[in-house]
Structure 1
Amino acid sequence: MSPFEYTSKWFVFKAYGHENVRATHRSTIEITKDNFLTTRGDCIIGIRSEASTKDFPQWLVEDIKNGSKIFVVFCTNNYCDSLIGYGDKDLILSHENKIIFRKSNYIEPATALIRSNKAAIDLSRKLIDDIKKSEEFTIMITSLKI
């Protein structure tokens, strides 16, 4: 394959960390619009999110439902980490409060992608340490059509 130029759309939004972020869950990562976090929420890495699955733009919904490979990047001012997962025709994408990235094939309204290569426990600890400081961070989502 020869090198080529690739241009894509990105859905970009902000969320905030919290001192109770543990990021120890072994199968999911969650971002929520809630403004609080207990220590039981071990999959939650972001609160006060600007977006939920219901807020995804139409192009992203279509790409997810077409089974595209989905690329997600999480960035604080100091660190970034990413994951890759897959869309599915059965994803609902209608939750008003949260976004969940899953290693499994489980589907419910907050599920944004399945078969992720990472869960909360797999994210960079440097990134998570920044997020624990209640720092604002950026989430960027795109589909890969390569």
Structure 2
Amino acid sequence: DYMIYANGDIVVSNSFTPSNSSSVGEIARIGMKMVVPKGYENLVYYGRGPQENYIDRKTGAKLGIYKDTVTNAFSSKYTRPQENGNKTDVRWTALTNGENGKGIMVVAADKMETSALHYRAEDINNVWKSFGHPFQVPTIEDTVLTVDYAQRGLGNASCGPG
């Protein structure tokens, strides 16, 4: 459901009900993905950081307000490209342009997980399947912003070979 208010606020409510709970298996993430047009490069958020972190890898990431760019959010330290750039325990995140500070701000009712990348998940996965390297993942000018209720942790080969 979407509620649009006169002041420009948009309140989004989502729910997930599997049609057959026995066929769901382990879900990698529950949330939304949106593409923000190019130019919204500045990232600021209140959550765990500054490094990427996941539900099973977050104790070393301190809660605070962090600023970065979307370009810096992709980690090339992995041998093979894989899920990366996630932030946990996020209360709010904002993407703005460099010209006038206009942009999008997402505020959680409680906490959320977010990432903002110049990469599509399917491109990362396709390069990974062909035994490619992070520098081979094609970049896009737009920003892929994910806003998740939850994402499965990285342990137990959830995002790559075990």
The interval holding the TM-score normalised by the smaller chain is under 0.3
TM-score (norm: length of structure 1): 0.24
TM-score (norm: length of structure 2): 0.23
Structure of larger gyration radius: 2
Structure having the higher strand fraction is 2
Q: Say which structure, 1 or 2, has more relative contact order (CA 8 Å, 6+ apart).
A: 1
